[in-house]
Structure 1
Amino acid sequence: MKNLDSLLAFDADHLWHPYAALRNTPARFLAKAAHGTTIETADGLNLIDAVSSWWCVAHGHNAPEITEAIRKQSEKMCHVMFGGFTHEPAIELGERLVKFLPKGLNKIFYADSGSISVECAAKMAVQYQFAKGHPEKCKLVALKGGYHGDTAGAMALSDPDGMHTLFRGIMPQHYFAERPNCRADGEWDDRDFESMERVVEEHEKEIAAIICEPVFQGGNGMWLYNAGYLKRLRKLCDEKGILLIFDEIAAGFYRTGPRWGMEHASLGDHGEYVLPDIMTIGKALTGGHMTMAACVASEMVADVITNSKISAFMHGPTYMANPLACAAAIASLDLFENRDYASRVAAIESRLRANLEPLRNLENAADVRVLGAIGCLELKAIPTSDDILRVIKETGVWLRPFCNYVYTMPPLITTDAEVDRICEAIKMIGQCEPGPVSDDEFHE
């Protein structure tokens, strides 16, 4: 390996990092290797990845089953265009997803990333309404506090007062209802739905679909809300001829407890729950080993589009159904199906609650929220970057707070002892003195 200092110097001078300034915010660590729950750095640290490398490394880093699947596929074919061709990995993954996804959601459009799958979902909803003879229905309703991605269409559906306000001029304009206030661990109050009802009543003739992250709003506030909201959404959409889109990119694959976030909205004793017309999946789909996502539609949505004058769905990414990514996703699904992640996540949740609930008593604590393998300490004010870096090095736990949120979404294989270490690191950050917010990678 080249000299560590020279590598980091080049990085700082030439490479932009996510939500960070060039030059002023050099990378804090150079990752050398990653296995299981641990990232090894070039300067000798072994850091527990408490955020699953942005929530995707569900089975841990370099899961041998997934890396072997990628290796085998690379010997046959790394990529071929999906226009005019198909291939076995894409077909096998489709067969597996049809069985793994909620019943009735079985028309699959492969996408490059979560953001692109959201773009596809929005376009699919608009094309559906066009096919139904309602070209005027080309707007969506989203929730304040939501996050759906960084591409223009996905930004336009994220919190209008969130991190993307700089780009309002290039975004299409949609409608927003107030964030649900009823907590996931609280009682449902029907008044919590009044804002959505008002928005739909006022703009009903323009609305193609409503989109939300079921029970877990991630990248704009780590908010966990009551599943009663999803039940009301389904009823309203049915009454108004509006499609319902669930963005399960962060909430899916057991992150909130059950396989899908929507399963919290139970409809009875027979395992039934609220279903959307379109859903998006990504992140953990490949276990974080390759970039891949999907937009999945119901048969009703697919049939309306397919039987219309413009029968082709008008989207087509270059790397759609990339064979390497499909192979990784198939191996990832094997792990999701063969491991009892529901029980493991329940154990992680119990451990997070036991460790984080007492942190409500910290002087700088504003709130504590836990659901499934998600834990968040909301602070009144964030400590300095130097203090956060110190805690990371002292505890051997990689955390990446944003705004006032110190959170963890660890790999689903994380042990009880590792969860305890993660919570101790969160506690230490919560005990630090608040400082001025600097423009660096710890404050997205």
Structure 2
Amino acid sequence: MSSTQRSLIQRDRASLWHPYAPASGDLPLWEVEAADGVRLRLRDDDGGRHQVLDAMSSWWSVIHGYRNPFLDAAAKRQIDAFSHVMFGGLTHGPAVELAERLVSMAPSAEGRPRLERVFLADSGSISVEVALKLAVQFQTAAGRPKRQRFLSLRGGYHGDTFAAMGVCDPVDGMHSAFPGLLAANVFAPRPPAAATATAEDIGQWRAEVEVLAARHSDELAAIIAEPVLQGAGGMFAYPAECVRILREIADRHGLLLILDEIATGFGRTGELFAASHAGVVPDIMCVGKALTGGYLTLAAMLCTREVAGTVSRGAAGALLHGPTFMGNPLACAVANASLGILDGGAWRADVARVGAALEAGLAPARELDAVADVRTIGAVGVIELHCPNEGDPNEGDAVDVAAVTRAAVAHGVWVRPFRNLVYAMPPYISTAAEAGAMAAGMVAAVAEVHGVARSAATLAAGVRP
């Protein structure tokens, strides 16, 4: 059978490898035929067509929706000028404008050094790699060459490249798959959950982190954390006070504070950057995902003048990293357009509207026996299922990913569950009705695949798409 006779999905299965999936001939797939606003038009393996609301923002990046005319126009203008030039020894307007925008938008606080230097990278994982390398180079240049390890939080996720994997959760991450290859870092307990944390819980957590930092201070370069919301590590929200504690501990022990805002940046949690919930300015910050509104891959690492200056005066004389596509003009031009939309300030009301609709729409999931928790923060909504083995939350997946995905598509919603979570991070432009329909589809899919409600009447009112 020729490639023209086979469906696109069949051709995909013969040659492509998808993320976090086996190279399999029966991988559940849908072909995207079109995307517009918050909707995807899909085609399934049998030729059936489905129009669905994208509750994922294409892995949290398409915050302004598909085919956004402002972003489309920015891309076309830059293509007419030039799409790419090397960044070694050359510069261009889109990169300079982007750096200036990021510096002006970055978290700030009276008495704290500002984030003033920007390094452009290819992806979020790479921006974390650059941040970690920068922290080690800083400590070496400052006369502390033994400081080459990192203090990270359990439950954290920072990317799939090697150094980034090394600061992800040591149990739930990929450490067991690459024994001996990932750095032996120091892991602090996961902070208490935001919804239930007491002052005593936070105090106990502070004491445990302080003990670890003091014990290992002579070998630690930095603390790294996702502020307020741990994303791929479990969509876990924790108190802003814990971010302030990390800042204090870093200062007390001469450590840099790296905040990974790749998932949380650009408004997702209700503040432009999640660090602002705590009034904290990091020494190094990583951004990505929504930076270009999902149009092109681009990320950035921001740092203070002191960090940049210390490394530049060190023996190496430079930050030892340089991606081929660093500062890609096309990506930078679209990023400027995306940040320009955010500059208007409407995102704050948008996030509040989406969050309120998710909170109301997901509430009926609490009536399901399979559901352990329902929570929201900003424009993020989460249904957490009970784990197969409550004594070991990492043993097996609670969600039947393929079945829940199919059920959600049948209800007009695109989701991508993982482990024991079915969650949504919708585009900010979603109306209240659209975000509510996303939530209803999620609840309906979980109900169909993972059991019946304790109160069918209560659930029924909330699951109609």
Partner secondary structure for residue 169 of structure 1: coil
Is it true that 1:427 corresponds to 2:443 in the alignment? yes
- Work out the CA distance in 1 between the residues paired with 2:377 and 2:339: 23
Mark the CA change 1:235 to 1:95 in structure 2 (over 3 Å): closer, same or farther.
Answer: same
Aligned to 2:311: 305
Following superposition, the deviation at residue 186 of structure 1 comes to: 4.3
Partner secondary structure for residue 33 of structure 1: strand
Is it true that 1:198 corresponds to 2:211 in the alignment? yes
Matches within 5 A, 1:235-254: 235-254=248-267
Is it true that 1:87 corresponds to 2:92 in the alignment? yes
Aligned to 2:127: 117
Partner secondary structure for residue 373 of structure 2: strand
Contact 1:12–1:27 (CA under 8 A) maintained in structure 2: no
Matches within 5 A, 1:130-145: 130-145=140-155
Aligned to 1:147: 157
Aligned to 2:23: 22
How many residues were matched structurally? 427
Contact 2:405–2:417 (CA under 8 A) maintained in structure 1: no
- Work out the CA distance in 2 between the residues paired with 1:173 and 1:255: 32
Is it true that 1:180 corresponds to 2:191 in the alignment? yes
**Residues 134-170 of structure 1: CA deviation (Å, up to 9, x unaligned):** 0000111111100000111111111111141312332
**Residues 102-161 of structure 1: CA deviation (Å, up to 9, x unaligned):** 231120000000000000100111110001000000111111100000111111111111
Following superposition, the deviation at residue 27 of structure 1 comes to: 4.5
- Work out the CA distance in 1 between the residues paired with 2:401 and 2:370: 16
Following superposition, the deviation at residue 386 of structure 1 comes to: 5.1
Following superposition, the deviation at residue 383 of structure 1 comes to: 4.8
Residue identity opposite 1:400 in structure 2 = R
Mark the CA change 1:432 to 1:68 in structure 2 (over 3 Å): closer, same or farther.
Answer: same
Aligned to 2:103: 98
- Work out the CA distance in 2 between the residues paired with 1:414 and 1:185: 29
- Work out the CA distance in 2 between the residues paired with 1:246 and 1:386: 33
**Residues 35-87 of structure 1: CA deviation (Å, up to 9, x unaligned):** 11011124432111101100011101121111211111112111111011111
1:340 to 338, 346, 359: 346
Aligned to 2:422: 406
Shifted more, 172-181 versus 193-202: the winner is: 193-202
Partner secondary structure for residue 341 of structure 2: helix
2:230 to 194, 213, 217: 217
Mark the CA change 1:254 to 1:300 in structure 2 (over 3 Å): closer, same or farther.
Answer: same
1:264 to 277, 281, 286: 277
Mark the CA change 1:121 to 1:221 in structure 2 (over 3 Å): closer, same or farther.
Answer: same
Is it true that 1:77 corresponds to 2:82 in the alignment? yes
- Work out the CA distance in 1 between the residues paired with 2:41 and 2:288: 25
Following superposition, the deviation at residue 299 of structure 1 comes to: 1.3
Residue identity opposite 1:36 in structure 2 = G
Identity %, equivalent residues: 43
Following superposition, the deviation at residue 432 of structure 1 comes to: 3.0
- Work out the CA distance in 2 between the residues paired with 1:22 and 1:351: 38
Larger RCO (alpha carbons 8 Å, 6+ apart): 1
Is it true that 1:395 corresponds to 2:400 in the alignment? no
Following superposition, the deviation at residue 25 of structure 1 comes to: 4.1
Is it true that 1:171 corresponds to 2:182 in the alignment? yes
Contact 1:383–1:429 (CA under 8 A) maintained in structure 2: no
Gaps of 5+ in 2: 109-113, 388-397, 452-465
Calculate the TM-score normalised by the size of structure 2. 0.88
- Work out the CA distance in 2 between the residues paired with 1:398 and 1:4: 28
2:57 to 30, 48, 52: 52
Following superposition, the deviation at residue 94 of structure 1 comes to: 1.4
Is it true that 1:286 corresponds to 2:292 in the alignment? yes
